[in-house]
Chains A and B, each alone.
Chain A
């Protein structure tokens, strides 16, 4: 059932097999899969069923660094369904190369490989209502064309709401803000929950999974560690650290000389990315170069075409009128940042309405964040020149002549890292099973466990990881002597 608060669950708020904290794509996928495996699940959602101004205000926080990201209370949603209430639906699995160290000196390796996630791809594709993915197509030696797929986009609150309301195994309590944990002998025994009236309650479960989001997971654990004297995350060296975004910027434009050899997809985009060998050779991380047809009015197009003959002059004229010169195609990109320990979530000085410190997000773009798009765009330019497709005119900031532009998209609102997966507890927060290092029954779901990001939008990977975690939890609970079987989702058709 779905209850407006914990007390409204009545006797059903007792001990469950799994307590899932958060109801975004990770939490809902996990709860659904666990319920289907016959486990009892309670989902604690801090927000309400829809957008609520007071609840949303809890997400306000600071950003130290630059360039400026969207305000933290805008880029996230604190309500049932979480970020699936406003996501765009763009999906692509991570590359095999994304799980390895791509270049020397930058730690992008995951403790798992693509083979550990691939079994969950068909079910994730089905949940997100995606067409099948196509393999990438080589474009020269260094590049390949890749194809995104688009979810409708699935809203998890709408898709699973009715099912959860009817479910005997899955209980959802709204207005249930987890503010800490009770710990005994390296295990969580209760989640401490506060409602908007300020009443505190405790929820018991055999397993606890934090799926509160790519920033909240870190914030809640940092705060829980403050309260518990470091007993919730006993190995906190990496907690909140290695936080990442996908930088999103316009790199330049393309003056076409011949017919464009690609077909635009349904979003009017062609995606090009480097091969693993090119990343190694040219020392760049993964990137999705996006080519869009320039949408121009007739007059503007004529002026543009003239200006493109003399781009320097054209640029000046267009700048004079506050316009951006676009010749034929717009080249945009989103790419992978190196995981950096100092890009991190910390607890700020201000507190939210519940007395819990707000987020202070430390996030910087550095010189290397220029290197990836700059090197990739040059590879594309060389290939276009070789094939006489056209020529690229790149923005000045790519050469370090200007700062990163602040009037661009800047980030994709893809909040990743902070509780990264690692073999070594000094390098991360969770192990390969997403279990918090040093804790017996505390797990983390969502993009906060990503050790590195590739360039693919994260939701598909989040769902794959949630399905994999559900399988692990079902198996581990079964091993604990319970009568629950392993999760049967691989290739299983649902009614």
Chain B
């Protein structure tokens, strides 16, 4: 049988064509990769164990049995020391950056490292204000916290310094970080601010002013320039124009008010950003300038917290929504409300919510290696948003910032703990604005959150971070984590009995 071959010249031509197609595909892939690549995506800092404040000791302190007195202050000083030790461990060559281990965000390594400084700054400042030790023991010796904060602030706001954070631009992540820098400066007004000379103060306020004048996204973002401007004003650096712009930004934000103390978060609607975002920032605006809008900020905070406190219990919180690695910050509005209206929500109840939340999550791996882990319990890339980097989750400290701030006025940590609603009895409460119903069962301590808008919907499963994500990230050199929006927002029910992520209690040493 004869076989008919294609002419040789045609085979050569086909071969050349295939080679050309391959070359084009490779070049195209390289071009795409270059286009999508996030700065420093391939670089990861190494995780380190803390030697002066080991994670195991922290877990032990938060899981040891307590009486009515609650945890007291010591466990919080221990976890604070652990995290401040972590800050020193991961601090970069420039003192304005801290390169924490973990998965990067789409903002790039430099912004991620700026967050490493800016997101621990308010806690560090509140720690110092509350009489916390300035000398932080670390693996390489004892370090001065106030000196570290001073050096970082000077470096980050100096355009001629290698550690300069860069001038904030439109819709820039630096606008968010600037509000934490501003809050940190205000909280450190008696400890770090006096260390600067006039020129240094002017330079820092100039950097903050650049952030306060930028365009922002709708939602929580609208509040960041307001907080920043109020701090600039506190230090005498604001102007009529900047003040008016902050007021306009604030009034625009108020348009997102949905009633019952709840604000709509963009783009999804009602979620826990009310707790660690909106009410947290509004609380600080009110603390910095009590005349700003007390008739609106305070009653809405108290109304919100009066409902929100029902979500806390010894079995955790029914977690939903985005940015879940901020979970330790959830008690922030309850603590804040206990300062504003102690007759409605006692400091003892606020501290009990703090104890319960920190104990629950620390027992399950929320604090390790001098950092806040990137998930609900430990690290979990399925639930980590693309905008979250290794240090983003330090926003979890927001509840502690309020607790340490409160300690400067009253013995907050020693407040006799009051039982949470679920520890007092069964309950069903409802907030009309978000359409949320919360049910608590005293018998088992579990709490259910029912979302009316999702009633009847099939509960969407969590999509795991898999090999496909890994390959896409390698190709794009950028975060390509799963979109779990449906599971995080679309379920009819979230409960502590069946949490989004089943967490194991970490073993004790």
Q: Taking beta carbons and an 8 Å cutoff, which residues of A are in contact with B?
A: 62, 64-66, 340-342, 344, 346-349, 357, 360, 362, 364, 366-367
Distance of A346 from chain B, by nearest CB (Å): 4
**Given A342-B247, A366-B252, 13 further pairs, Cβ under 8 A:** A64-B248, A65-B248, A342-B248, A346-B240, A346-B241, A347-B240, A347-B241, A348-B241, A349-B240, A349-B241, A360-B244, A362-B245, A362-B248
By beta carbon, the residue of chain B nearest A66 is B215
A493 to B322, CA, bound (A): 69
Please tell me if B239 contacts chain A, counting CB pairs below 8 Å.
yes
Chain A residues within 8 Å of B245, by CB: 64, 360, 362
Q: How many residue pairs between the two chains, A and B, have CB atoms under 8 Å in the bound complex?
A: 39
A357 to B213, CA, bound (A): 18
Q: List 6 A-B contacts (CB under 8 A).
A: A64-B213, A65-B215, A346-B241, A347-B241, A360-B241, A366-B255
Distance of A405 from chain B, by nearest CB (Å): 15
Contact B244 A346 (CB under 8 A): yes
A349 to B252, CA, bound (A): 22
Contact A344 B241 (CB under 8 A): no
Contact A362 B244 (CB under 8 A): yes
By beta carbon, the residue of chain A nearest B241 is A349
A366 to B247, CA, bound (A): 17
Distance of A446 from chain B, by nearest CB (Å): 23
Distance of A429 from chain B, by nearest CB (Å): 18
Contact A62 B241 (CB under 8 A): yes
Distance of A134 from chain B, by nearest CB (Å): 39
Contact A341 B241 (CB under 8 A): no
A357 to B240, CA, bound (A): 10
Distance of B219 from chain A, by nearest CB (Å): 11
Partner of B252, one of A62, A347, A357, A364: A364
A349 to B245, CA, bound (A): 11
Chain B residues within 8 Å of A348, by CB: 240-241
Contact A349 B239 (CB under 8 A): yes
Mask, B215-247, CB within 8 Å of A = 1, is 100100000000000000000000111101101
By beta carbon, the residue of chain A nearest B245 is A64
Chain B residues within 8 Å of A62, by CB: 241
Chain B residues within 8 Å of A349, by CB: 239-242
Chain B residues within 8 Å of A65, by CB: 215, 248
Distance of B373 from chain A, by nearest CB (Å): 34
A342 to B213, CA, bound (A): 16
Distance of A352 from chain B, by nearest CB (Å): 14
Mask, B143-187, CB within 8 Å of A = 1, is 000000000000000000000000000000000000000000000
By beta carbon, the residue of chain A nearest B247 is A342
A62 to B242, CA, bound (A): 12
Distance of B433 from chain A, by nearest CB (Å): 15
A62 to B215, CA, bound (A): 14
Chain B residues within 8 Å of A341, by CB: 251
Contact A344 B248 (CB under 8 A): yes
Chain B residues within 8 Å of A362, by CB: 244-245, 248
Contact B251 A342 (CB under 8 A): yes
Chain B residues within 8 Å of A367, by CB: 218
A341 to B248, CA, bound (A): 9
Closest 9 CB pairs of A and B: A342-B251, A349-B241, A346-B244, A362-B248, A342-B248, A349-B239, A348-B241, A64-B245, A360-B241
A341 to B247, CA, bound (A): 11
Distance of A434 from chain B, by nearest CB (Å): 26
Chain A residues within 8 Å of B247, by CB: 342
Q: Which of B213, B248, B255 has the most CB of A within 10 A?
A: B248
By beta carbon, the residue of chain A nearest B215 is A66
A461 to B241, CA, bound (A): 32
Chain B residues within 8 Å of A357, by CB: 240
Chain A residues within 8 Å of B215, by CB: 65-66
A367 to B240, CA, bound (A): 28
Chain A residues within 8 Å of B241, by CB: 62, 346-349, 360
Mask, B192-215, CB within 8 Å of A = 1, is 000000000000000000000101
A340 to B253, CA, bound (A): 12
Distance of B328 from chain A, by nearest CB (Å): 32
Distance of A244 from chain B, by nearest CB (Å): 15
Q: Which of A347, A360, A367 has the most CB of B within 10 A?
A: A360
A474 to B240, CA, bound (A): 40
Distance of A72 from chain B, by nearest CB (Å): 14
Distance of B325 from chain A, by nearest CB (Å): 27
A367 to B218, CA, bound (A): 10
By beta carbon, the residue of chain B nearest A67 is B215
Distance of A241 from chain B, by nearest CB (Å): 9
Chain A residues within 8 Å of B255, by CB: 340, 366
Distance of B246 from chain A, by nearest CB (Å): 10
